[in-house]
Amino acid sequence: MPKFSHLTDTKRIERTWLEAELFPMCDKIRKWNGQGPDLSGRALYCLFYEPSLLTRTSFERAIGLLGGQAYHTEDASQFFPVTTPSYVDNVVNILASLHVDMVVVRSSDEGVIERAEFADALPVINGGSLEDHPTQALADIYTLQRELGGVDGATVAVVGRLEHRNVSALLKGLALYKDIKATLIPLSGQADPDVIAYCEKKGMKITLERDLEALRDADAIYLNAPRTVAHVQLLRSRRALDIRIDKKFMSMLKPKCVIMDPMQRSGDFPVEVADERLAFYRQSENGLILRMAVLAHILGRD
């Protein structure tokens, strides 16, 4: 991938860029104990129309560790006239006029990310759209790379809410690799059929399972939680959510199977055991380092 100003679509990411530039930069930042290229004087704005903890905080911490400054709004509709995509280009141009150097946009409204990018006033990163989340996909793949020693040939099981941007982004990211087997175990919804078709065209083998016994063959398990506490309670009332991460659960997995979760846990998948294979916090740290590398790549290129 050539040097770019925007990171808005997981499908545009190229494996050669990951292996030649981005992941080596991640490893350098880790080796430098969280330091990296000097971005002092640079400003990042998190323009979020939906709440976020991990994505927003990791971007803000990333720019801070590199010497820049972060600004944000987590309910932008209260401050900007962006109830439709028609206005987000105006907001991006306003931020550019205020000498902001990059904007991370989160919105599930159709067309918002595309319109922000089209303004081409400053670099735009998709911080979570209806069907995509590129930096989350990159963080998850970087985690798999570190935990498994490589991604090619991996069997990755996705459990939980399949109709979610994290899952769509992960699958599209995994499609960059060879001989990937994806096992989908839904607790609610189904994976986007367009994403499935895209991944299968790239050579990924995707199977749908209903029995947790399918996890025995997984090299990695990706837990994606239900939408809300009420949703959790509904699924439990229907006995559709009965996964406990306990000794019995862990005993049926491969000795080096890694378990990931892209969101802060809230009791949806109760964790009742300490096990080195639980990579939740290593995964969130990788998200920070990955986003530092992305910022360094885009803003530090001069």
**Domain total for the chain?**
2
Between CA 22 and CA 290 the distance in angstroms is: 8
- DSSP 3-state assignment of 280? helix
- φ/ψ (deg, to 5) at 195: -65, -40
DSSP states of 163-211: SSHHHHHHHHHHTTSSS-EEEEEEEES---HHHHHHHHHTT-EEEE--S
Can you state the angle between helices 280-299 and 134-148, rounded to 10 degrees?
120
Same domain? 119 vs 158: no
Confirm if 128 and 55 have CB atoms less than 8 A apart: yes
CATH number at 26 reads: 3.40.50.1370
Same domain? 138 vs 278: yes
Between CA 139 and CA 294 the distance in angstroms is: 11
Beta bridge partner(s), residue 70: 44
Q: Is residue 75 part of a domain?
A: yes
Same domain? 262 vs 128: no
Residues 6+ apart with CB under 8 A from 63: 39, 42, 44, 69, 70, 295
Q: Is residue 15 part of a domain?
A: yes
Domain limits for position 273: 134-284
Q: Is residue 3 part of a domain?
A: no
Q: Is residue 111 part of a domain?
A: yes
Same domain? 165 vs 271: yes
Q: Is residue 174 part of a domain?
A: yes
Q: Which pTM was predicted?
A: 0.91
Structure tokens that stand for 185 in this block: 């175990």
What is the per-residue pLDDT for 37? 83
As averages over each run of 10 residues, the pLDDT of the chain (302 residues) reads 76 96 95 83 93 92 96 72 68 95 93 93 96 97 98 96 93 98 89 96 96 95 69 47 84 96 71 94 96 94 50
Same domain? 154 vs 268: yes
- φ/ψ (deg, to 5) at 260: -120, 155
Same domain? 78 vs 211: no
Measured in residues, the chain has a length of 302
Same domain? 173 vs 60: no
Same domain? 90 vs 215: no
Same domain? 146 vs 280: yes
Cβ-in-10-Å burial (0-12, 13-18, 19+) of 53 comes to: exposed
Q: Is residue 2 part of a domain?
A: no
Between CA 171 and CA 166 the distance in angstroms is: 9
Q: Is residue 38 part of a domain?
A: yes
Same domain? 143 vs 69: no
Between CA 154 and CA 171 the distance in angstroms is: 12
Residues 6+ apart with CB under 8 A from 26: 142, 286, 289, 290, 292, 293
Same domain? 210 vs 121: no
Q: Is residue 1 part of a domain?
A: no
Same domain? 245 vs 174: yes
Nearest Cα to Cα of residue 291 among 120, 166, 104: 104
One-letter amino acid of 260 = M
What is the per-residue pLDDT for 225? 77
Confirm if 127 and 46 have CB atoms less than 8 A apart: yes
